[in-house]
A and B are shown apart, each in its own frame.
Chain A
Amino acid sequence: MSEVQKMVCIGCPIGCQLEVEHLAGPDDAWRIAGYACKKGKTYAVEESTDPRRMVATTVAIDGAAWQRLPVRTAMPIPKDQVLALCRRLHAVRVRSPIAMGDVVLADALGTGVDVIATRSL
C-alpha cells in the first residue's frame, strides 16, 4: 500500500496542487498528478524524498547604513536544517564594505551550500 501525498508546488507563483504517490514495486516509480510543467514533476519527487528550501535572512553588519545585511543560501538546503541555520547565522557579524555575492558563511552546517550576501552594504 502506498500513500498519496498532497502538496503545493512552490516552483512558481501558480502553486499547482499536486498529488504524489510513491508506487510499491521493484522500480522506483512515482505517480504525480496536477502539475502544469515539468518543474512540478521534479519538485514532487524531491519534496517526497529530500525536501529542500532556500533560506533568506539577515546577519549583523557593522559600519553600514543599516543594522542588518540580507543574506540567502546559494542553493536550497535540507528543510530540517532551516531553523538551525538561522540560529547559526545569529552568531555571524560582518563588517562593511560587503559586496553582493560575498560568502558570509561557507558550507553552512556541512550542507555544502554557502550563505551569500544579497546586497552590497
Chain B
Amino acid sequence: MLYDVAIIGGGIIGCAIARELSRYAVRVVLVDKECEVGFGTSKSNSGIIHAGHHSPAETLKGRLVVEGNRAFPKLAEELGFGFERVGEIVVARDPGELPALERLKTLGESKGVPGLELWDRDRLLREEPNLSPRLAGGLYAPTAGVINPYECCFNLIRNARMNGVELLVESPIVGIDRRDGFLSLKTPRQLLHARYVINAAGVGAAKVAAMLGLHDFTIQLRKGEEYMLDKRMKGVVRHIIFPVPSAKSKGTLVIPTFDGTIMVGPTAEDVDDYDISTSDAGAKAVFDFVRTLVPSLHARDTIAEFAGLRAVSNTNDFIIGPTAVPGFINVAGIQSPGLTAAPAIGRYVCDILRDEGLSLVERDDFEPRVEPIPRFSALSMDDKRARIAADPASAHIVCRCEEVTESEVVAAIDQGARTLDGLKFRVRAGMGRCQGGFCTWRCMQLLSERLGLPIEAITKRGGDSWLVIPRLEDEPTEEAPR
C-alpha cells in the first residue's frame, strides 16, 4: 500500500498536520513511537496559546503564531477540546523594564496582535490583586489562552482518523530508504511506503533526517520543569503572567491552566540526553522567581511536578520546508510558540505539499466535528441526573478526586487508551489529590477487561513501564481439604 503522506511524529504538530490533510482525498498515516499521541514534548507543554507579540515578524515563528492564535476558537469548538482566552500580562519587575513592554507592544501591533494595552502599576494591581506590589507595570494581551495540549492532540487525531487518517503507535522509525518516486519507512514491525514524508519528530527530528543523510540542522534539547499547585490556589491569578522575555526563553510563568490548577514554570536548561527529571535546583529556581511575581505562591502547595524537552533548532526558528530528498519535508525545531502555531503549520505544510506536487482535492464527506464526551464533573446536577438515567455506568465513580465515571473511562479505552497514562490524560483519572492512590487498581482492572489483557500486561505509558508482576508461585496448586 502506498500512502500519499506519512507523518513521523504524533505530537501537536504531527496531529495538526494530520487533521489538516484529512480534509483532502489523500491516504495518510501518522506514526509515533509512544503508546499515545502527544506523549513526547506535547503533553509536558505549558498549554499556552500565545497572543503572538513575543516573536519577531521576520521569523517563521513570528509569522505563523498570530494566524495560529486566530484559528484556535474555531478549532476548539469543532473538535470539542477546552480553550479559554484568559489573556496574558507581561509584567515589568522594575521601571527599567518598562521600555521593553513598549517595544513588545509595537512589535505585536505590527503583526496584527489585537487589543494590546499597557497597564500602569495601579491598573495591574486592580486587575490582579495578588501580584507583587513591586511590579512596575504590564502589557496586557487579551487573545492569549490556555488549553490542555494532550486533549488537543487526542481530539485532532480522533477527527483525523474519523476522516480516514491511519494511526500507528508504539512504532519508532528505525530507518528510511529512498526509492523511485517514494520513501520507505522501517519500524520494528512494519515497512511503510509513502510518496511524501513529514518529519515532525520533535526532539528526534535531526536523527530522523540523518537517516536519509540529511544534516541541514541540529536540535538542542532544552529541558523545562513545571510545578502544578493544589486546586486551592485556583484564582490566585486570572491571566497568564509572563516576565519580560530573555533571549533564551519566554521565562518562568504563572499559568492558570484550563482545568483551574495553577502551574508555575518552566525552567530552561540545555541537556545532552533525554532527561525529563525534575530537580531541587529547578524547583528552587522556579519558586524563587515566581514569588517575585506572586508572593503568595509557595513550593509546599505543589501536588505534582514534571519536565519536558523543547526541540530547539540551531537557527532558533522553525525549520519547515522541503529538502534535498524529494518528498521529505522537515517540520522541525518547533519550540514555543509551536503549540499556538500548530493550526497554521498544518495549513503551511499543505501548501508546501501542493508546491511539491501533491494534488490536494477536498473531500466532500469531510466531517470537521468531533462530539466530545462532556466531563461528568463539569455537568450541572440536573445534567448529571439525565446522564445517569441514559447511561447507568455514569453513576459509577472510578476516580473520586476528579469525579470521573466508569462510562468515561470505558469510552477512553474504546477510543484508544491502552495505558494508565492514556486514561489519565484523556479523562483525568489519577490526576487529582490522591494521584491515583484509590483508582489505580480499578483503572487497571478496566483496561485489563476491555483490552483482554492480563493485569500484569497493563503499563503506565507503554514500553517498559510495567506496573505489577504476577505472583511468584510454586508448584501446581491443589484443592484445599475442607
Contacts and interface: CB of A to CB of B under 8 A. Distances in A.
Direct contact of A and B (CB under 8 A): yes
Contact of B478 (A87, A91, A106): A91
A104 B477 CA distance: 13
B468 to A, nearest CB: 12
16 contacts: A87-B474, A90-B473, A90-B474, A91-B474, A91-B475, A91-B477, A92-B477, A92-B480, A93-B478, A93-B479, A94-B479, A94-B480, A95-B479, A102-B482, A104-B480, A106-B481
B476 interface: yes
B444 to A, nearest CB: 13
A60 B477 contact: yes
A94 B482 CA distance: 9
Interface string B453-482: 000000000000000000111111111111
Contacts of A103: 481-482
Interface residues of B, number: 12
A95 B482 CA distance: 10
Contact of A90 (B471, B480, B482): B471
Contacts of B477: 60, 90-93
Interface of B: 471-482
Interface in A51-68: 59-60
A93 B471 CA distance: 14
Contacts, number: 30
A45 interface: no
A105 interface: yes
Interface of A: 59-60, 87, 90-95, 102-106
Contact of A93 (B472, B480, B482): B480
A93 B473 CA distance: 11
A119 B377 CA distance: 36
Nearest to B479: A93
Contacts of B480: 59, 92-94, 104-105
Contacts of B478: 91-93
Nearest to B455: A67
Nearest to B477: A93
Top 3 A-B pairs, shortest CB-CB distance: A93-B477, A90-B474, A104-B480
Given A60-B477, A91-B473, A104-B480, 6 more contacts: A91-B476, A91-B477, A92-B477, A94-B480, A95-B479, A102-B482
Contacts of B472: 90
Nearest to A94: B480
B474 to A, nearest CB: 4
B25 to A, nearest CB: 51
Contacts of A87: 474
A115 to B, nearest CB: 9
Contacts of A102: 482
B275 to A, nearest CB: 39
Chain A CB count within 10 A is highest, among B472, B476, B480, for B480
A90 B471 CA distance: 9
A43 B482 CA distance: 33
A102 B480 CA distance: 11
Nearest to B481: A106
A70 to B, nearest CB: 14
Chain B CB count within 10 A is highest, among A59, A87, A91, A103, for A91
